[in-house]
Amino acid sequence: MSSNIRINRICQQCGSEFEAKTTVTQFCSDRCAKHNYKARKRVEKVKASHDHTKVVRQRSLEEIKSKEILTVSDVAKLLTCSTRTVYNLINNGTLNGIKFSERKTLLRRSDIERFFDNALQPLPPRPEKPLDIKQCYHMGEIQLKYNVSEKALYDMLKRNNIQKTQRGKFVYVLKSKVDQLLNPKIK
């Protein structure tokens, strides 16, 4: 079945003008048709991937909503905030967290709901004495003065419950506490 009609069309892939023999021809050549087909398939794959991601995200949120005991990362997803914010709320006493192990902190859903009930009544923060920077060493100074590695220094400070304060990019510790800890002759 040949056709005698000739129609000027514009290729939907490359945009060039060509002479078509039928009224439904969309592409100037087989090459443009194949390129367009691959582009359509690529778009379909990306759309399917996005849809799958949405389903997984919704499923994980539904699983979190059904749990009674939540981890810190679950609470962060539920409240749409960072895990650091959740840890700060626990340390301030705003949220009740249970330290299940050294690496795992758990929270009850009822405590989180109670947190929103009491949100209108702000809790006073725990009083923490700010350190005077003039009476402090920063961590680098301590490492140089006492020839201690960074890990050993952090472990010693943590083991002896010595208060640290961060100002900008530096972490400061009281000179008197560090001298007592690392130089036993000074008491």
Q: Which structural domain, as residue segments, surrounds residue 12?
A: 1-51
Structural domain contains residue 59: no
Domains contained in the chain, number: 3
CB 173 within 8 A of CB 142: yes
Give the chain's radius of gyration (CA, Å).
32
4 and 47 inside one domain? yes
91 or 45: which carries more pLDDT confidence?
45
Q: Give per-residue pLDDT as tens, 95-136.
A: 888 888 888 999 998 888 887 776 656 656 666 667 788 889
Give the number of other CB atoms < 10 A from CB of residue 181: 18
Structural domain contains residue 33: yes
141 and 113 inside one domain? no
Give CA–CA dist 73/105, Å, rounded. Answer: 10
Q: Give per-residue pLDDT as tens, 143-171.
A: 999 999 999 999 999 999 888 888 888 89
Structural domain contains residue 101: yes
CB 29 within 8 A of CB 16: no
Q: β-strand 105-108 against 97-99: which pairing, if any?
A: antiparallel
Give CA–CA dist 90/100, Å, rounded. Answer: 14
Give CA–CA dist 155/144, Å, rounded. Answer: 17
Q: Give per-residue pLDDT as tens, 42-88.
A: 999 999 999 999 988 888 888 888 889 999 999 998 888 999 999 99
Give CA–CA dist 129/42, Å, rounded. Answer: 59
Q: Quote the pTM value.
A: 0.41
Structural domain contains residue 60: no
Give CA–CA dist 131/32, Å, rounded. Answer: 71
2 and 41 inside one domain? yes
35 and 4 inside one domain? yes
Structural domain contains residue 159: yes
- Structure tokens given for 88: 């700060």
Measuring CA to CA, which residue among 65, 19, 53, 14 is closest to residue 35? 14
155 and 115 inside one domain? no
43 and 76 inside one domain? no
Q: Enter the DSSP assignment of 118.
A: G
Q: CATH code at 169? A: 1.10.10
71 and 109 inside one domain? yes
Structural domain contains residue 103: yes
